[in-house]
Structure 1
């Protein structure tokens, strides 16, 4: 348990750096805040970092007769179980992460189906269901895990969040469009415009070191989406999955996928905001005169 103890000590340190230090100014403050920001980001990416390290380390031919996809599933389960047992994630957070897994698997099963074939998993695995290796759901769960961990480590607060029903409506439309655009057209930019208007006034307040900072929540969605797009490029380079134009030789994932991932982050964020211990950090302005808001 030495590893979990060390992480516990690190978390305790990161969470107890509070109280504005007026003597810390200029370049020294910038460097220290940037350093702590990087440490917190790396810590928040614990699940994603360990999982994608496994993607790089596990050879395509598998290990000891265990196919690569099956081994990645086992590794993901071990990481998830370890985080739960050592209380790096609560049971409520675990349930939310399993929801991301289920949502991701349903999307994957549709996208790899014979009539769609948006991408494919070329290698054999015992744990493939409907053409989808079960480890793939953990890639979506990794995004949810990152948001949950970042919320705690940065002490996030959301200011001017839209009413929950509106946020859930947009999240539902985002998810539905991943399916329906194959039949009735791609409306992502209309949905994105709606999300832009919905979250235009919303800010995320975070604490990299000892002072609260803020940024537009929409910018956070776009930045997270960009880094997921980079991870997707790396994953396809290692042939974890392949798009049709990558079957014979690798090419960069189209930049348009960045927008898809940013929209998926909005959907993931909406699910995270439903957690009981996070709702109190979200400010929803009153709907109008005489209203008490939500």
Structure 2
């Protein structure tokens, strides 16, 4: 492939584009995009088979780059052109046995960067686990933050995502990636250090919520119980007795049964996290030990206070 300057009806001296473009094989079908990028086909450069489409930035005089799949295939692919204004390209290919014209629409990608920091000091937090979730809360990928607290994900443009970060001894945190048109976008995620109150008689956590008429541990409940796991790992001789309570709604028998199921679910969760069975036990008390003795006239806030789990220290 050669180039020549044109001034009206006058032509300059032809110039070979050199080894960055040309090889001992065949080069042909050149076209120049509106952004000054040369597209051409070559059989002499490393590719997928036959003729492949390559791109070269003539202003930077760099090595031509294969445009990759799905434009290129194991057959001949050539005559590529791209319209920047319409954001679409066309090329020819014999991948189906005959030379057909194929339309190519570029996939827009964006680099989403999470910056994980200590919520108190503002310093970068390396070693945090960061997950990126789609709109349906499906986890797409999970990575660890580097020495500078950064994690990078390559995702689609015009799509919203959620970034969730977690690290031992820190509260979990999250951030939202908005719709973009490409390039890079950064999201700061601050993680607050875990602060658990330990008295002489109990470990005090935030309220652990259960779904209505359920005893399975929720994501919120797991985050709180993980704090208790950290405390019990720090104090290997500590023994905990879990007391689960309900509000006064429903029959006494129903509340007692539900609270017992929740107490045992709590114990099983802690055991699943490596806490020895001999160090954790629990029992449900239903509505027999209300924190606020309001009986049948409880407000919603008073009911919430009565629906609680207590973590009594039997041995420390």
Settle same-fold status: TM greater than 0.5: no
User: Where is the strand percentage greater, Structure 1 or Structure 2?
Assistant: 2
User: Where is the helix percentage greater, Structure 1 or Structure 2?
Assistant: 1
Query: TM-score scaled by structure 2?
Result: 0.22
Query: TM-score scaled by structure 1?
Result: 0.23
Bigger Rg, which one: 2
Higher RCO (C-alpha under 8 Å, 6+ residues apart): 1
